[in-house]
Amino acid sequence: GDSVTQMEGPVTLSEEAFLTINCTYTATGYPSLFWYVQYPGEGLQLLLKATKADDKGSNKGFEATYRKETTSFHLEKGSVQVSDSAVYFCALSDPRIQGAQKLVFGQGTRLTINP
Amino acid sequence: EAEVAQSPRYKITEKSQAVAFWCDPISGHATLYWYRQILGQGPELLVQFQDESVVDDSQLPKDRFSAERLKGVDSTLKIQPAELGDSAMYLCASSGNTIYFGEGSWLTVV
């Protein structure tokens, strides 16, 4: 079945450092790809998404590019802030399923940014 | 901004008791999901509704879990009897073109 693998955490960086969180996927079709963020004690918020190969999703300084050839969707940010501390989840959904978007999540990567 | 509403936010219950969670999706969203997130892991789908019909409950432990969405709007997830391993966050989500999550309901079974 479809699956998502994220780099293991936790990841600890200093403020203004460059961030990369790796994500690779396995899917039989051409899934849509997502990054969700979860702040402490809260639900998940959609950070960005891409629906086809070579699409770049971006939001709040974060970017991720849908790479079909490497089945990857790595999350990057050029200069992180303390407020970016959270757990980040990579996910996919199979657009072949009409009228539904079943999300398959990775295990999450905890990010801590130190001032 | 429209939100997915969930209650209660926190629930502590004793083993073998019954517990229920409620979800009100974003208005107009026909698809509603219940996910379970065990601490330190990613969410896993328990059940998916399209309007009032269940379209996927393959991962729902049906011996103790039940879910309903009688009028195709709000939904209730019930656990009876609760077990220690049910301690987790229960997330409700709804979708139009994009899936939006509620803040979740934390369950601790003691």
User: Average pLDDT of each block of 10 consecutive residues along chain B (110 residues)?
Assistant: 90 97 95 94 93 92 95 95 96 90 95
Asked if B44 reaches chain A (Cβ–Cβ under 8 Å), the answer is yes
* Separation of alpha carbons B106 and A24, rounded Å: 29
**Per-residue model confidence (pLDDT) at position B70:** 85
Which residues, in sequence order, are CB contacts of B33 under 8 Å at separation 6+? Answer: A102, A103, B45, B47, B48, B49, B92, B93, B94, B95, B99
CA A110, CA B88: separation in Å to the nearest integer?
A: 18
State residue A96's pLDDT score.
Answer: 63
B31/A99 Cβ within 8 A: yes
Beta pairing, strands B99-101 & B88-95 = antiparallel
Please tell me whether residue A7 adopts helix, strand or coil conformation: coil
Give the mean pLDDT of A30-45: 90
Inter-chain CB pairs, A–B, below 8 Å: 55
Which residues in B lie closer than 8 A to residue A49 (C-beta atoms)?
98
pLDDT at site A89 = 96
B contacts of A45 (beta carbons < 8 Å)? 101
The string of pLDDT tens digits covering residues A58-108 is 999 999 999 999 999 999 999 999 999 999 999 998 766 655 578 999 999
End-to-end CA distance of chain A: 41
Query: For chain A, how many helices (H) and strands (E)?
Result: 0, 12
Contact partners, residue B1, CB within 8 Å, separation at least 6? none
Q: What is the DSSP string of A54-68?
A: T-EEEETTEEEE-BT
Count CA atoms within 13 Å of residue A41 on its CB side.
2
Helix, strand, coil abundance in chain A, percent, nearest 5: 5, 50, 45
